[in-house]
């Protein structure tokens, strides 16, 4: 078991009143949450997003990335849909942690791109793990997803865990002059889809 369920509560937000479910990794004590809205029962695919923690973008309004914009748009989309789930995973900086992320940002200030900065610090370009998503979805009784992402690796990772991702929903928000190079690097080096469309293929 990657994570164990701890407790749930109501979470009023500007986008709607969600249910917040807490999970913990038994081996590390690392905590993750899922926000759900509406009835998730039945075979109808559930609008979903897996969102890795980005303190700078999610809480401090950083314009160096598109993370905070994607988080807000995902919650808005779930609210419009009337049902859905957002899994918020505590793996800052594509898994390298907050202080190393600051070090990586410093290297980017010197001219490195986001992938080069991670590699100069001795890390892979992306260390994120999505194993916990399977346990979270199983606990909440969710079987099929319409996944909001621009990242093909995320789609393939979830499918590799046996999660039925039936559709990929594009999530293109937050482009600005401060993150143009960041987005271009995600497209050229990490294979992200940056065109505006929806599809049902990885």
In a domain, 199, yes or no: no
Q: Which residue has the tokens 């010197």?
A: 110
Q: Which of 46, 70, 47 is nearest to 58 (CA)?
A: 70
52 is in an annotated binding site: yes
**Dihedral angle of Cα 202, 54, 138, 85, to the nearest 10 degrees:** -80
If asked whether residues 42 and 102 sit together in one domain, one would say no
To the question of whether residue 120 is assigned a binding role by annotation, the answer is no
pLDDT bucket at 198, cuts 50 / 70 / 90:
very low
Residue 49: give its domain's CATH number. Answer: 3.40.50.10990
Q: What angle do CA 42, 44, 48 make, to 5 degrees?
A: 110
195 is in an annotated binding site: no
Nearest to 23 by CA among 8, 6, 35, 39: 6
* pTM of the predicted protein model: 0.89
Query: Which range, of 14-23, 41-50, 147-156, 181-190, averages the lowest pLDDT?
Result: 181-190
Residue 84 · residue 114 · CB < 8 Å: no
**Domain final residue pick, 82, 107, 127:** 127
Helix or strand (DSSP H, E) at 47: strand 46-52
Clarify whether residues 134 and 86 are in a common domain. Answer: yes
Of 76, 103, 127, which one is at a domain's C-terminal end? 127
What does the alpha-carbon distance between residue 19 and residue 34 come to, in Å, rounded to a whole number? 8
pLDDT of residue 99 exceeding 80, the answer is yes
Does the annotation list 114 as a binding residue? yes
Banded model confidence at residue 178, pLDDT cuts 50, 70, 90: confident
| Same domain as 146, residue 84 | yes
| 23 and 83 housed in the same domain | yes
Q: Which of 73, 59, 49 has the alpha carbon at shortest distance from 173?
A: 73
Phi and psi of 32, rounded to 5°? Answer: -135, 160
Active site residues: 126, 128
Whether residue 43 is found in the same domain as residue 105: no
List the beta strands (DSSP E) in 63-200.
84-89, 144-148, 164-169
- Kindly state whether residues 24 and 111 are assigned to the same domain: no
For 50, phi then psi, to 5°, come to -100, 120
User: Average pLDDT for residues 159-183, to the nearest whole number?
Assistant: 88
Over residues 148-154, mean pLDDT: 90
- Whether residue 21 is found in the same domain as residue 63: yes
Phi, psi of 86 (to 5 degrees): -120, 120
20's tokens: 């917040």
Q: Are residues 14 and 104 in the same domain?
A: no
pLDDT number for residue 133 = 95
**111 and 14, same domain (yes or no):** no
- Identify the band that residue 125 occupies on the pLDDT scale cut at 50, 70 and 90: confident
**Cα–Cα distances in Å, from 57 out to 49, 64, 67, 117?**
16, 8, 5, 18
| Domain assignment of residue 117, given as a range | 95-127
Find out whether 94 is annotated in a ligand binding site. Answer: yes
Could you tell me if residue 2 is inside a domain? no
């Amino acid at each position: 078991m990657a994570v164990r369920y701890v407790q749930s509560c109501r979470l009023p937000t500007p986008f709607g009143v969600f249910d917040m479910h807490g999970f913990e990794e038994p081996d590390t004590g690392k905590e993750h949450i899922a926000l759900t809205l509406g009835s998730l029962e039945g075979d109808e695919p559930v609008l979903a997003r897996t969102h890795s923690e980005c303190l700078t973008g999610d809480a401090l309004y950083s314009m160096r990335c598109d993370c905070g914009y994607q988080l807000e748009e995902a919650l808005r989309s779930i609210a419009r849909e009337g049902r859905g789930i957002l899994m918020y995973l505590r793996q800052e900086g594509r898994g390298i942690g907050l202080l190393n992320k600051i070090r990586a940002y410093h290297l980017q200030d010197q001219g490195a791109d986001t992938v080069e900065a991670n590699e100069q610090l001795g890390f892979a370009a992306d260390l994120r793990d999505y194993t916990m998503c399977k346990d979270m979805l199983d606990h909440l009784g969710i079987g099929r997803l319409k996944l909001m992402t621009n990242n093909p690796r995320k789609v393939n990772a979830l499918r590799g865990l046996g999660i039925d991702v039936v559709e990929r929903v594009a999530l293109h928000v937050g482009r600005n002059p401060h993150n143009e190079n960041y987005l271009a690097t995600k497209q050229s080096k990490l294979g992200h889809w940056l065109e505006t469309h929806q599809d049902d293929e990885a």
